[in-house]
Structure formats: structure tokens, C-alpha cells
């Protein structure tokens, strides 16, 4: 996997003021109503390497960090043309600390609230970047960082720099070093295979090769394994064949896949427990009606969590951060709705009552919210509610070209709990989109002629 090169990246703290979410410069509840003006001029060259490769590397870091910060929806990114001082002619540190340092007053006059000044130097293939984040109104340094890596790691530096800025201002780390896993018909003929990509849709990589239909891929907590299911056919000892949906575990470090659960019927929708020692999934055991089971990583059944009732289907488990509760979809009440239960199967509670069909619950990493897809009339939209079922908010409302509602489905939270990833067929194909949890900011992630299904967001892979 390409993200493993991040192990080489070194980030050194020059200065950091610890800030909690409550003490943050930007309060999360206020970010959706007003964006902060952020000045982020181009990098200054602090070394002697002025080659095209050097300036291109610096430009790539700036472009990636700038894109991350803009997509975060916290900021109004200011144009370089508004600056009253030329950043290229001043130091990345302020006057009077530096004789040629920049001044805060011109930035205050153009309305800048925060300022990022950066510089770089390249010696051979070694790249060093220095970043300083300032609060303009207080003429104050908030954070200073130094990044050391190879010249081939510009994208990773850009993502890490943006994460550091978000964490310094909000108290919560950004999601920019995370990835998305999904299944797709991309390059798979009539089938579907598992693909991974960066959170912004770049570097899409096919990681399964079954020449079949893969389903419901999901990350392990450390991002090193993927659980997914595949339509499979087995030849039994008597020569007859058995077709079912089988569960595999793929180790991304070794590229080794292990057939983990292949009981007759369906073995799908697996999610790792927070300790990564077990999985929860839906299994039909050849009966036609799926229930939720807990299995270990060898595929052995640890516990059966649901039993119908009366043949009702119980599927799509999603575990809360401490592993004590599971959200799932069930038709036990007549129509598929969202329920929660304790991790041992007890204390079942129904959370949703409206709509025709509610499915694919996703618990936020902070444990406060559950997202789900709800069918309203003839299409699905993404909704978010508190973990107790209160305060349901519609996140999506996109239309297709014919004016009818698009299907927006299968939400999954970002590692900072502030964004959702989901699929939408508004363009005619099932493409991946991200949005803030309140739906106020939405971006398209994939932009091609393929279809993607059930995207899941990893934790930050740093």
C-alpha cells in the first residue's frame, strides 16, 4: 500500500500550544455559520536549491495543504493578491524578531484572522519544510512545525501540515491522512472489486482480485486489514457446488487474504470490534434470514447477538467507539429500521420510526452521532441523529438530471466525526461524495464513469 511510506515522514514540533476543543480558536459549532479568513501565501525558499524540481515540490505541498484547508469548510482562503506586503520579500517570521520579518498590521487591514507562513529547503532528495501558524489579531504564534521527508512525499507533507493546522485551531485533528475503502466496478468487467483511495479521491488502487462481486469492505482500527465479502462458489467433497457470500480478511502489509467465514448463505457486512480481536457481521447460516454474530479472526463463532424474531432480518452492525453498543438495521418491526443493542445482544432499542426503509447505520468515532440512509418516497437520503435517536437531521437532498430525487446512501464518518462520506447516483453513476455532518458543505470525491459502493472512512493513518 502506498501510504506505508509515511513511516519515513518526520514531524518535529518547534512550538505548540496545547488546545482543547472547548478552548479552541475556532469552535466547531460556530464553524458552519462563519468561516475564518486564512492567509496562506506560497512557500519561501530557505535553501540554495532553485531547480524546477525543488519549486515544483514546494508548489505541490502548498496545493495539497491549501486544498485540504479549503475543503475543511473552516476557512475562507484569501487570495495572494490582497496582501499589502509581498510575502516573497519577507521572512516567514515576524518583525522585529527578524530584520526582514513580515508585519501583522497590513494583514489586519485586509481582514486576515489566521496566517500560515512556510519555507522549504532541499538537499539532494531530502526535503525540509518549516510551518508557522499565527493568530493575526493578537500578533501571536500558535504553532510551529518542521517536517523532514524525501522529495517524493510532498502529498503526505501537505496532508500532515493541514492536519496540524486544524488541530492547533480546533483541538481536534483533521482527517487528511485518512483513506476510504469501497467496492467498485472500476476495471472489473461485470464484477466488483475492493478499492482504496485517499480521502480526497486521489490514488485509487484495486486491492482485491476475485473476478467476482465483492461487497461491504471495512477497515480494521489500525488500517492494516480490510474485511470484505465475495460471492463465492465452492466444490464440496461429493462433487456438488455451494454458492454463498463468503467473508475474507485482507492483510495490506503482506497482501495476503484469508477466507474467514464461509458458512452456507450470507457472511457479510463485517465490522471490527474496537480492539481488532473480533468481528461482528450478518450471517444467514443457510436459513435465508440473517442475524448478527460475533466471530473471532479465525472465523469461529463467539456469540449470536440477534434471533429474529419470527425470521426477521438483522444486519449491518456498526460498533460505538468503546465497543459497548452496536447499531444495526432490522425488519423486526415490519419495516427495516435502525436499532441499537448492547454488545452482548441485550437492551435492544428502536431509534427510527419514520420513512419506508432505514438502513446502513454508522456510528461516529466520538460516539455522539449515528448516520443512516433513509428511504423517503422513491429515493434514499443520508440522515444523522444523536446516538439516542433524537434530533434527526437530513444531510442530502440532491436531484438527478430528470428532477427526481437521487439515491444518497451508505454514510460513514470521518475520523474527526465532522464529515460523512457516502455514495450518490445524481450524475447517473454511483459516485462518492463527502459532506459536513450538517450538510452545509458538500464535495464530490470521485469523478469518473465507474460505480462505487458502501464507502468506509479509515482512521488517520499517521
Which helix H or strand E contains 331, and what residues bound it? none
Of 84 and 94, which is predicted with more confidence? 94
Confidence band (pLDDT; 50, 70, 90) for 290? very high
**pLDDT band with cut points at 50, 70 and 90 for residue 20:** low
Mean pLDDT of 267-278: 97
The CATH number given to 179-457 is 2.120.10.30
3-state SS record for 225-293: EEEEEEEEEEECCCCCEEEEEEEEEEECCCCEEEEEECCCCEEEEEEECCCCCEEEEEECCCCCCCEEE
Residue 49 has pLDDT above 60, yes or no: yes
- What is the structure's pLDDT at 92? 96
How many Cα neighbours within 13 Å face the side chain of 397? Answer: 7
Residue 398 sits at the vertex; the CA angle it makes with 394 and 403, to the nearest 5 degrees, is 130
CB–CB of 148/135 below 8 Å?
no
Residue 32's pLDDT band, with cuts at 50, 70 and 90, is low
Strand order in the sheet with 369-376: 357-363, 369-376, 379-386, 393-394
| Mean per-residue pLDDT, 240-251 | 90
Q: What percent of the chain clears pLDDT 70, i.e. is strictly above it?
A: 94
pLDDT confidence of residue 187: 78
Using DSSP's 3-state secondary structure scheme, residue 322 falls into: coil
Question: Distance between CA atoms of 290 and 152, rounded to whole angstroms?
Answer: 47
Q: What is the mean pLDDT of the chain?
A: 92
pLDDT at residue 266, as a whole number: 95
Mean pLDDT over 63-90 rounds to: 92
CA distance 410 to 213: 18
The predicted pLDDT at position 117 comes to 97
pLDDT at 4 over 80: no
- Each residue's pLDDT tens digit, 361-373: 999 999 999 999 9
Task: Indicate if the pLDDT at residue 31 is higher than 60.
Answer: no
pLDDT at 81 over 90: no
Please tell me the pTM assigned to this model: 0.91
Residue-wise pLDDT for 366-404, tens only, equals: 999 999 999 988 899 999 999 999 999 999 999 999 999
| pLDDT beyond 70 at 194 | yes
pLDDT at position 233: 81
Cα angle 63, 69, 73; round to 5: 140
Q: Return the pLDDT at 329.
A: 98
Q: Confidence band (pLDDT; 50, 70, 90) for 209?
A: very high
Indicate if the pLDDT at residue 265 is higher than 80. Answer: yes
Same fold, 2-170 and 179-457: no
pLDDT beyond 70 at 29: no
CATH architecture type of domain 2-170: 3-Layer(aba) Sandwich (3.40)
Domain boundaries, the chain: 2-170, 179-457
Angle, alpha carbons 439-177-362 (nearest 5°): 45
**Residue 213: phi, psi to the nearest 5?**
-115, 110
pLDDT digits (tens, 9 = 90+) for 403-462: 999 999 999 999 999 999 999 999 999 999 999 999 988 999 999 999 999 999 999 888
- In this structure, the strands spanning 126-135 and 114-123 are antiparallel
Least Cα distance to 183 among 269, 294, 121 occurs for: 269
Residue 6 has what pLDDT? 41
Amino acid at each position: 500500500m502506498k501510504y506505508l511510506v509515511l513511516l519515513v515522514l518526520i514531524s518535529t514540533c518547534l512550538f505548540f500550544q496545547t488546545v482543547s476543543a472547548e478552548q479552541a480558536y475556532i469552535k466547531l459549532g460556530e464553524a458552519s455559520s462563519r468561516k475564518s479568513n486564512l492567509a496562506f501565501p506560497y512557500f519561501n525558499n530557505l535553501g540554495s536549491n532553485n531547480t524546477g524540481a525543488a519549486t515544483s515540490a514546494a508548489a505541490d505541498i502548498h496545493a495539497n495543504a491549501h486544498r485540504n484547508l479549503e475543503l475543511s469548510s473552516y476557512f475562507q482562503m484569501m487570495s495572494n493578491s490582497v496582501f499589502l506586503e509581498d510575502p516573497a520579500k519577507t521572512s516567514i517570521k515576524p518583525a522585529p524578531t527578524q530584520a526582514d520579518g513580515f508585519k501583522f498590521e497590513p494583514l489586519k487591514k485586509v481582514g486576515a484572522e489566521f496566517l500560515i507562513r512556510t519555507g522549504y529547503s532541499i538537499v539532494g532528495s531530502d526535503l525540509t519544510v518549516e510551518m508557522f501558524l499565527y493568530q493575526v489579531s493578537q500578533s501571536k504564534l500558535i504553532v510551529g512545525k518542521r517536517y523532514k521527508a524525501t522529495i517524493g512525499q510532498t502529498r503526505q507533507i501537505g496532508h500532515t501540515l493541514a492536519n496540524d493546522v486544524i488541530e492547533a485551531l480546533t483541538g481536534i485533528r483533521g482527517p487528511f491522512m485518512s483513506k476510504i475503502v469501497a467496492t467498485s466496478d472500476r476495471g472489473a468487467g461485470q464484477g466488483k472489486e475492493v478499492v482504496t483511495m485517499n480521502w480526497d479521491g486521489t490514488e485509487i488502487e484495486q486491492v482485491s482480485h476475485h473476478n467476482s462481486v465483492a461487497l461491504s469492505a471495512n477497515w480494521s482500527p489500525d488500517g492494516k486489514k480490510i474485511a470484505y465479502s465475495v460471492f463465492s462458489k465452492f466444490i464440496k467433497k461429493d462433487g456438488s457446488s455451494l454458492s454463498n457470500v463468503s467473508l475474507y480478511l485482507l492483510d495490506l502489509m503482506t497482501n495476503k487474504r484469508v477466507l474467514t467465514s464461509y458458512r452456507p448463505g450470507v457472511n457479510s457486512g463485517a465490522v471490527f470490534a474496537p480492539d481488532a480481536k473480533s468481528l461482528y457481521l450478518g450471517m444467514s447460516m443457510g436459513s435465508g434470514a440473517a442475524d448478527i454474530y460475533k466471530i473471532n479472526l479465525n472465523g469461529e463463532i463467539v456469540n449470536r447477538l440477534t434471533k429474529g424474531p419470527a425470521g426477521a432480518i438483522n444486519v449491518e452492525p456498526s460498533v460505538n467507539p468503546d465497543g459497548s453498543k452496536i447499531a444495526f438495521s432490522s425488519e423486526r418491526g415490519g419495516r427495516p429500521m435502525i436499532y441499537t443493542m448492547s454488545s452482548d445482544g441485550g437492551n435492544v432499542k428502536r431509534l427510527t420510526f419514520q420513512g419506508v426503509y432505514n438502513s446502513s447505520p454508522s456510528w461516529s468515532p466520538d460516539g455522539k452521532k449515528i448516520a443512516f440512509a433513509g428511504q423517503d418516497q422513491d429515493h434514499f437520503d443520508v440522515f444523522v441523529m444523536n446516538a439516542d435517536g433524537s434530533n434527526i437531521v437530513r444531510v442530502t437532498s440532491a436531484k438527478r438530471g430528470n428532477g427526481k430525487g437521487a439515491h444518497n446512501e451508505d454514510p460513514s464518518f470521518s475520523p474527526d466525526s465532522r464529515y460523512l462520506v457516502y455514495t450518490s447516483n445524481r450524475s447517473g453513476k454511483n459516485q462518492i461524495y463527502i459532506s459536513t455532518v450538517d450538510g452545509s458543505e458538500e464535495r464530490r470525491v470521485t469523478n469518473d464513469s465507474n460505480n462505487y459502493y458502501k464507502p468506509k472512512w479509515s482512521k488517520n493513518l499517521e
